[in-house]
């Protein structure tokens, strides 16, 4: 499949709400896309299943059919959120981690932006976490053995030049497109000199591959002090690029700075497919009350469309969300308000 927008007559979008509030917010994102009218090719939605609930019902967390339909029939997809079992469950494995790998969605792009009450004023926090999405400890190569002193478990952390280079390229491209053109490479090479050493070197080498990347200023941070400085001086960051696990932690940390995980979107992007996904989890504590924040999913839809080349449509969604948060002050409980998922969604749709 090509990511080029020109040839498309219709846009087939896989919807995988999965568990918990995923089932409340993915429908909201769908509604927002439907409101776009002729700005995008006629959207066709395909409902697909995956998740812990699917596992409990069918014994499989990610049914083959879901993967086949995504691969063969869909131009893109939206994924909700998965619940994690509270005890070890034999045979269960996270479907989102699997999907990222199977579809080779190597870049997890997570823009974290605070909405300032005054649209003229620059955002206090405005960064993109670019997370490598296919390797590091997420290769899930784990073994358990029994040694002299009891059980011993080992996991492999894989870092390759190829994956580090392609995520590096993505990060340089994103940095280049922003006013500040600043990139921070995150690693822990003072301990992991070989694996994180390779990540750091591969990312830095990208700058030499294309003269246009000279315009990007590059800094480095050890992951521990990156989290520390993120809280103390978030304004120092523009684009951050990180191996998988550090990116997971950093994007949650950054989300804490903008009021709520409920507003932070992401896309899982590969060369041939893109899948939007809110950064938040399945939030079992609030599921079913109709109070989940739909903003992260709606913005994920915008991000997905932007990635496919529909910048206008994406802007319409993002501007509508900004207005609803800023002017209407229509906020779900995670942002300190009392609005319901549906109210917020309707207000956004009206603004689109």
Ligand X SMILES: CC(C)[C@H](C(=O)O)[C@@H](O)C(=O)O
Give the contacts of 210 (CB within 8 A, at least 6 positions apart).
172
Q: How far is the CB of 237 from a copy of itself (least distance, A)?
A: 14
Q: Give the binding-site size for ligand X (rule: CB under 6 A).
A: 9
Partner that binds at residue 255, options a copy of itself, ligand X, none, CB closer than 5 to 8 Å by kind:
a copy of itself
Known active-site residue 238: no
b/e burial code for range 149-164 (CB count within 10 A of at least 16 → b): eeeeeeeebbbeeebb
Distance, CA of 128 to CA of 238 (rounded, Å): 6
* Rg, Å, the chain Cα set: 20
Give the contacts of 327 (CB within 8 A, at least 6 positions apart).
none
Distance, CA of 18 to CA of 21 (rounded, Å): 9
**Which one of 137, 176, 315, 319 is in contact with a copy of itself (CB under 8 A)?**
137
Region 58-117 residues binding ligand X, contact defined as CB under 6 A: 82, 94, 96-97
Q: Which is nearer to a copy of itself, 67 or 257 (CB)?
A: 257
**Which one of 142, 214, 224, 271 is in contact with ligand X (CB under 6 A)?**
224
Known active-site residue 252: yes
Q: In what order do the strands lie in the sheet with 239-242?
A: 42-47, 10-18, 76-81, 274-276, 267-269, 107-113, 126-132, 239-242, 182-187, 217-222
Distance, CA of 214 to CA of 337 (rounded, Å): 45
**Which one of 58, 190, 289, 338 is in contact with ligand X (CB under 6 A)?**
190
Helix 341-351 with 311-326: angle, nearest 10 deg: 120
Known active-site residue 188: yes
How many CA atoms, within 13 angstroms, populate the side-chain half-sphere of residue 311?
1
User: Does residue 256 bind a copy of itself (CB under 8 A)?
Assistant: yes
Q: Which is nearer to a copy of itself, 13 or 263 (CB)?
A: 263
- Structure tokens, 167: 């995520």
* Contact string (CB under 6 A) for ligand X, positions 243-282, x = contact: -----x------------------------------x---
Region 227-246 residues binding a copy of itself, contact defined as CB under 8 A: 227-232, 245
Residue 155: phi and psi, rounded to 5, are -120, 150
Q: Which is nearer to ligand X, 275 or 298 (CB)?
A: 275
Distance, CA of 255 to CA of 125 (rounded, Å): 10
Q: Which is nearer to ligand X, 35 or 267 (CB)?
A: 267
Q: Which is nearer to a copy of itself, 268 or 323 (CB)?
A: 268
Known active-site residue 310: no
Catalytic residue among 188, 238, 310, 318: 188
- Spatial CA neighbour of 196 closest among 136, 247, 253: 136
Q: Which is nearer to a copy of itself, 287 or 310 (CB)?
A: 287
| Piece of the chain touching a copy of itself by CB under 8 A; list 110-118, 211-219, 224-232, 342-350 | 224-232
Known active-site residue 248: yes
Region 190-209 residues binding a copy of itself, contact defined as CB under 8 A: 190-195, 197-198, 201-202
- Structure tokens, 110: 């997570």
Give the contacts of 226 (CB within 8 A, at least 6 positions apart).
184, 186, 240, 246, 250
Residues contributing to the site for ligand X (CB under 6 A): 82, 94, 96-97, 190-191, 224, 248, 279
Residues contributing to the site for a copy of itself (CB under 8 A): 84-86, 88, 92-94, 97, 137-138, 140, 142-144, 147, 149-162, 165, 188-195, 197-198, 201-202, 220, 222-225, 227-232, 245, 248-249, 251-253, 255-257, 261, 281
Positions annotated as catalytic residues are: 138, 188, 224, 248, 252
């Amino acid at each position: 499949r090509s990511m080029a927008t020109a040839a498309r007559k219709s846009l087939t979008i896989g919807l995988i709400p999965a568990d918990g509030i995923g089932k409340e917010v993915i429908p909201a994102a769908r509604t927002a896309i439907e409101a776009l009218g002729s700005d995008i090719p006629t959207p066709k939605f395909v409902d697909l299943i995956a998740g812990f609930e699917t596992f409990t019902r069918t014994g499989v967390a990610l049914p083959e059919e879901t993967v086949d339909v995504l691969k063969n029939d869909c131009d893109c997809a939206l994924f909700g959120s998965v619940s994690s079992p509270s005890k070890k469950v034999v045979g269960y494995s996270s479907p989102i981690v699997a999907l990222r790998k199977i579809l080779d969605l190597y870049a997890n792009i997570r823009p974290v932006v605070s909405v300032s009450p005054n649209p003229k004023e620059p955002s206090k926090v405005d960064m993109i976490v670019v997370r490598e999405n296919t390797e590091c400890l997420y290769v899930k190569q784990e073994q358990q053995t029994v040694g002299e002193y009891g059980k011993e478990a080992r996991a492999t952390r894989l870092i390759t030049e190829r994956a580090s280079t392609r995520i590096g390229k993505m990060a340089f491209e994103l940095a280049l497109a922003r006013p500040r053109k600043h990139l921070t490479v995150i690693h822990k090479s003072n301990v992991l000199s070989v694996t994180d050493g390779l990540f750091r070197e591969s990312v830095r080498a990208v700058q030499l591959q294309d003269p246009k990347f000279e315009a990007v200023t590059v800094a480095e941070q050890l992951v521990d002090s990156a989290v520390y400085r993120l809280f103390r001086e978030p304004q120092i960051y523009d684009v951050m690029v990180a191996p998988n696990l550090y990116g997971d932690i950093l994007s949650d940390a950054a989300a804490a700075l903008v009021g709520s995980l409920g507003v932070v979107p992401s896309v899982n992007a590969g060369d041939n497919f893109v899948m939007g996904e809110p950064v938040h989890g399945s939030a079992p504590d609030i599921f079913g009350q109709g109070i989940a924040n739909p903003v992260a999913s709606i913005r994920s839809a915008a991000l997905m469309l932007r990635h496919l080349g529909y910048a206008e449509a994406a802007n319409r969604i993002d501007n509508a969300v900004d207005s609803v948060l800023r002017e209407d002050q229509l906020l779900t409980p995670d942002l300190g308000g009392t609005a319901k998922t549906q109210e917020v969604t309707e207000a956004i749709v009206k603004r689109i």
